[in-house]
Amino acid sequence: MAGITLNSVTKSYGGNAVINDLNLDINDGEFLTLVGPSGCGKSTTLRIIAGLENQTGGDVAIDDKNVNNIRPSLRDLAMVFQSYALYPHLTVRNNLMTPLRLRDLTFWERFPILGYLVPGRSKKITSIEAEIQKVAETLKIEPLLARKPGQLSGGQRQRVALGRAMVRNPAAFLMDEPLSNLDASLRVHMRAELSSLHKKLKTTFVYVTHDQAEALTMSDRIAVMMDGDLLQLGTPEEVYKNPNDIRVAEFIGSPKMNILKGTCDEKGQVTSAGIKIDAQIDPLNAGAISIGFRPEHIEIVQKASNKTLSGKLSYKENLGSDVFLHLSLDGSDDSFIVRAQPNEGNTQKIGDILHFTPIKGSALVFDSKGQGVTLLKSKTSGKRK
Amino acid sequence: MGQSKIHYWFVGPAIFLMLLLLIAPVFVAAGLSMTNYSLGNSGFDWIGLENYEKLFSRRSYAKMFTASLTYVLLVVPISVALGLGAALLISSLKIGGELYKAVFFLPVMATLLAMAIVWEFALNPIVGVVNDILRSGCDKDMIYAFFTGSWYGNNALESWYGSSCEKKFPIWLGDKKYALGTIAFIGIWQAFGFNMVLYLAGLTSVPRELYQAAHMDGADSAWERFKLVTWPMLGPTHVFVITISSIRSFQVFDTVEALTQGGPSKSTYVMVYAMFEKGVKQNLLGIGSAITIVFLIFVLILTLIQVYFVNRRVHY
Amino acid sequence: MYSQTNWLGEFFKHSLLLAGAIVVLLPFYLMLSYSFKSPSEIEANKGGFFGTQEIMTDNRCIKAGNPEEECLMRPIVYNYTAAFKEAPLVRYMLNGIFVTVSIFVIQVIIALPCAYALSKLRFWGRNVVFGMVIFCLLIPVHAIALPLYIMLAKVGLTNTYAALIIPWTISVFGIFLMRQFFMTVPDDLIDAARMDGMGEFSIVWQVMLPTAIPALLAFGIFSVVAHWNDYYWPRIVVTGNKDLMTPPLGLRMFKSDMDGNEYGPMMAATTVIVLPLVIIFLLAQRRFIEGITMTGMK
């Protein structure tokens, strides 16, 4: 078990920077998710931790030991790949065995035929077999041990790939979009399994995904990356409730957060489309700002007033438990999405003009540079952390 | 892992062998083609382009180019057409396709030199089975009428078959009128199965939906669908099959060496055989190398034509 | 819909193909048939496929001074024993196997690591090396046989096994084919092997090699067929020494040594040389056709 520290890590390919000055402390035993859109540098970060890629600058330490010049196999990490990367010519048993054979057996013990003559080999093999048996039981893949990867379903391959990582008892697990090749229902199921596996193993998990839902459901902490920068590091709740950057706000949460253009006057009062929003911020931010509303923080009201906005219902997205109403607002190209209860949402008709108002204190305000700004309750204010 | 030097060990041997066995010989040939070098001689003289002048002025080399080009022009169109025809027929069969495929592919696998010897026996003017069969048709009225064209009103004796029946059937490999054609026939016999499997592979890559769409669009006859879908979709295969068979038939050697040795009167004196005869048998390495270089240029031109067509993507 | 069978059309197609098949099979039929028959049957074109197998006298055996009753035998026995007696057919076959197998093994040893480096390792000059491979694809080895022959003669290697093998040790086509195949192998697999603790050499031979079996098989078929059947190159570098001859060259020798009308033994020898590949082909037809087409894309 180990914590992992990245210190001012940079990476560029031929002058093309993909990671800019990344500092990241991954605690021992935590489930940390690197999330971001494709090309944000999250996979590269993982591969740098693994040692499959050399960083251009900075240091990587595992358990406070600098591993910059240590080969991937000696870093005591295990990795689960998106395409599973099982050896197609080996049975499941031999796939699981490979990392242990290479680590525990000497060159001569691995030598074909002659290897059997080396004393002590059979004892080692027995302990390897036992390890495999244990892992296979945990993952419920014992019946598959004699098969080859080609004869397995996607979900089964996924388990074998996990198993191959687990047999090594590594200091940390690295996972590169391990669920993205599975179908939707299996993916949701595997999220729960991975979480419980993490609780059982109590080992560090570093998990890379582009799916914000995976990040929110499984992680202890989330690191949101974009364009090679680490934008925010925090618990799922923090990142969802208090995004410190408008890009984080828009990336995390589904459906997407609604963003309205607005202004802040000298008193710190926020207005949008001539309506006063229930939000006070530091007057230092006076000028153009953006205001974000989560779809679940909007109320539909019967009558228009000076506290309501209006939009025409253009589309209804019925998910059964919820209905998302897509409203088109004057002066905005994006539709404004409002979550409604089914009985409420189903009565609305396409083309109706709806009036709505944000729930008190729910608005998120971002300054002209996209940085989050805290709402004033008392007189203290500042950048949201 | 960029800084490891392991790749030297991986590509080093290959690079060394490529330089030694493929690239160096081209330069050796180019150099020697301007000399009068012979193995065993201690020295040689630079004679400039004299070998090339010989190549393009002497009658025997004119015959060489004629023989090679005629051979290619006979074998390529016919073996490609037969290959395509066989592929189309086989792919449209309900049953038995696999069997024909195996049969037609057999000559591709079989040792050409050995089969050439069998063909020589079959084509032997006295004991050969081919002339035997031809002769046996002469006294069967229906066959005679069909092949001479007399059923159509032609004068039987003026036709090839009729006059051959009167006198005798040709000495296929010993007659300069027939020898190259006979060698080409063996070439076609051997090569068309190869073209067939390439076309079959091309045909399977044509999406089924396209044929269904053609049906929907009103292409009702098989011929319409062939014109609309099959032929254009086979574009890349055509380019490939034609160049590959041209290059292969340029290299004809086994049949010529075993059956005619360039004769009679140089009618089958193809380039690779000339290269072998001059360079190896007569130890005239200068002129042999000159033929090598000309031959390389021919192959290069063929390949460039292929690359041109592939890059232009004329096929879709 | 359009699925009802057009019987007339089917019949017509089968007749065309059958006619083609007869021409294609004719020499194979003759080869087998002649190898069974007595000289008189061959000359008179009698005896059907198998001949009458009447007891015949072996003239050569009598000339050698044996009593006549020892020289009586069935034509089929005569043809095949004569083939093996008069030409070192077994030696030819063993030479053929040795040469083709050596060529293939060396080709793989050279090509596989190179293809791996070209597809999966990033290093300076990779594109130059690949460009060189592509360039070399343009050079047909048949065309440069003469300079190769001179080079081998200069180092005194003509009339050796080495001369039969060396020019074919580098298969740029093999490199190209394997590289294309390796491009389709996910990088993840190699990364996983590195995480598991394999070095680059182990990755080539323990991960890439087993993964590449289908492509290697195709290439193997291509290589073995080409070199078993090759006549041109052995003809150039082996002169007179029967101990080194490969099957086609040996057969050619047999033909020029042949006195009179020894068609029977000649065809028996031909059958022995042609049959192995044909039988393997018929047993693994699909693989062969796939292999040759895949590698035909040269």
Q: How far is CA A143 from CA A138, A146, A156, C55, C141, in A?
A: 12, 8, 11, 66, 53
List chains adjacent to chain B, taking adjacency as at least 3 C-beta pairs closer than 8 Å.
A, C
Buried b (16+ CB within 10 A) or exposed e, C249-276: bbbbbbbeeeeeebbbbbbbbbbbbbbe
Please indicate, yes or no, whether residues C115 and C41 belong to a single structural domain of this protein: no
State yes or no: cis peptide before A255, omega within 30 of 0. yes
H-run or E-run covering A126 = helix A121-139
Please identify among residues 131-170 of chain A the ones whose CB lies closer than 8 Å to any CB of chain C.
164
Residue C263 maps to which CATH number? 1.10.3720.10
Q: Which residue type does B204 have?
A: T
Residue C2 in domain: no
Strands A204-209 and A31-35: parallel
Classify domain A4-241 at the CATH class level.
alpha beta
Confidence at B190, pLDDT banded by 50, 70, 90? very high
Gap from B1 CA to chain A (nearest CA, Å): 6
Q: Which of A347, A325, A321 is nearest to A338 (CA)?
A: A325
- Token pair listed for B294: 């000309």
Per the DSSP assignment, residues forming a β-bridge with A300 are A356
Identify whether residues C109 and C67 lie together within a single domain: no
Cα atoms found within 13 Å of the Cα of residue C186, Cβ hemisphere only: 13
Rounded Cα distance between A340 and A322, Å, is 6
Helices (H), chain B: 6-18, 24-32, 50-57, 59-91, 97-109, 112-122, 129-138, 141-148, 160-166, 179-204, 208-216, 222-225, 231-233, 235-250, 254-255, 271-276, 285-312
With respect to residue C80, please indicate whether it lies within any of the assigned structural domains: yes
Domain presence at residue C1: no
Check whether residue C127 and residue C56 sit in a common domain.
no
Q: Which residues of C touch A81 (CB under 8 A)?
A: 186, 188-189, 191-192
Q: Do C36 and C131 lie in a common domain?
A: no
- Tell which residue, A41, A35, A39, A37, has the closest CA to residue A11: A41
Prediction ipTM score: 0.86
Delineate the domains of chain B, giving CATH numbers in brackets. Answer: 55-113+173-312 (1.10.3720.10), 126-169 (no CATH)
Residue C217, chain A, CB below 8 Å: the answer is no
SS3 C180: helix
What is the DSSP-derived secondary structure letter of residue A383? B
Nearest to A167 by CA among A58, A92, A260, A263: A92
Do A73 and C196 lie within an 8 Å CB cutoff? yes
- Pair A73, A102: CB distance under 8 Å: yes
Query: Are both C96 and C159 inside the same structural domain?
Result: yes
Which of the listed residues C84, C100, C127 is the one where a domain comes to its end? C84
Q: Is residue C68 domain-resident?
A: yes
Residue range(s) defining the domain that contains residue C22 = 7-84
Kindly give, in sequence order, each residue whose CB lies less than 8 Å from that of residue B168, ignoring residues fewer than 6 positions away: B125
Domain check: are C78 and C126 in the same one? no
A373-to-A245, A268, A381, C164, C198 alpha-carbon distances in Å? 9, 11, 8, 80, 51
Q: How many CA atoms lie within 13 A of C66 on its CB side?
A: 12
Domain with CATH 3.40.50.300 in chain A: 4-241
pLDDT of B228 > 70? The answer is: yes
Please tell me the predicted confidence (pLDDT) of residue B25.
Answer: 92
For residues C105 and C236, membership in a common domain is answered with: yes
Predicted local confidence at residue C215, as pLDDT: 86
Residues C174 and C47 reside in one and the same domain: no
Mark whether C57 and C24 lie in a shared domain: yes
CATH 2.40.50.140, chain A: domain bounds: 257-373
Instruction: Name which of B2, B4, B118 is nearest C30 (Cβ-Cβ).
Output: B118
| Final residue before a domain boundary, out of C84, C99, C131 | C84
CB C90 within 8 A of CB C246: no
Q: Which residue has the tokens 């971001």?
A: A36
Residue-wise pLDDT for C192-242, tens only, equals: 998 888 888 889 998 999 988 888 988 888 888 889 999 999 999 998 788
The alpha-carbon radius of gyration of chain A (Å, integer) is: 26
Per-residue pLDDT of chain A (385 residues; tens, 9 = 90+): 578 999 999 999 888 899 999 999 999 999 999 999 988 999 999 999 998 888 999 999 999 899 998 888 888 889 898 888 888 888 999 999 888 888 888 877 777 777 777 877 888 888 899 999 999 998 889 999 999 998 999 889 999 999 999 998 899 999 999 998 888 888 888 999 899 999 999 999 999 999 999 999 999 999 999 999 999 999 999 999 989 999 999 999 888 898 888 888 888 888 887 778 877 788 888 888 888 889 998 888 888 887 888 888 888 888 888 889 998 887 777 788 999 888 887 788 888 888 888 888 788 889 888 888 887 764 444 445 4
Question: What pLDDT was estimated at residue A352?
Answer: 85
CB of A74 within 8 Å of a chain B CB? The answer is no
C-alpha to C-alpha distance for A137 and C213, rounded to whole angstroms: 32
Q: Pick the closest to residue C116 from C35, C177, C48 (CA basis).
A: C177
User: In this predicted structure, what is the pLDDT of residue C261?
Assistant: 64
Q: Rounded to an integer, what distance in angstroms lies between the CA atom of residue A10 and that of residue A26?
A: 17
Measure the CA–CA gap between B231 and B271, rounded to whole angstroms.
Answer: 34
Q: Which among C188, C192, C211 has CB closest to A89?
A: C211
Give DSSP secondary structure letters for A2-68: --EEEEEEEEEETTEEEEEEEEEEEPTT-EEEEE-STTSSHHHHHHHHHTSS--SEEEEEETTEE-T
Please count the structural domains in chain C.
2
Identity of the residue in C189, C191, C197 whose CB atom sits nearest the CB atom of A52: C191
Tokens of C258: 């042949």
Same domain (yes/no): C101, C247: yes
Q: How far apart are CA C230 and CA C247, in angstroms?
A: 9
**CATH topology assigned to domain A257-373:** OB fold (Dihydrolipoamide Acetyltransferase, E2P) (2.40.50)
Same domain as C39, residue C162: no
How many residue pairs bridge chain A and chain B with CB atoms within 8 Å of each other? 5
Q: Say what the pLDDT of residue B313 is.
A: 56
Alpha-carbon distance A40 to A47, whole Å? 13
Are C143 and B253 within 8 A, CB to CB? no
Contact A366, A373 (CB under 8 A): yes
User: Can you tell me the distance from the alpha carbon of B243 to that of B300, in angstroms, rounded to the nearest whole number?
Assistant: 11
Q: Does residue C263 sit in the same domain as residue C144?
A: yes
Among candidate residues C84, C100, C125, the one where a domain is terminated: C84
H-only helix segments in chain C: 7-36, 39-44, 59-63, 75-86, 89-120, 126-137, 145-154, 161-165, 172-183, 187-195, 200-202, 209-211, 213-229, 232-237, 247-257, 263-283, 285-296
B1-13, pLDDT tens digit by residue?
A: 444 678 888 999 9
Query: Which is nearest to C44 in space by CA: C247, C192, C263, C293?
Result: C263
Q: No. of H helices and E strands in chain A?
A: 10, 21
Number of other CB atoms surrounding residue A39 within 10 Å: 13
Which residues of B are less than 8 Å from A54 in CB distance?
1-3
pLDDT over 90 (residue C96): yes
Answer for the pair A163, A143: CB distance below 8 angstroms, yes or no.
no
% of chain B exceeding 90 in pLDDT: 30
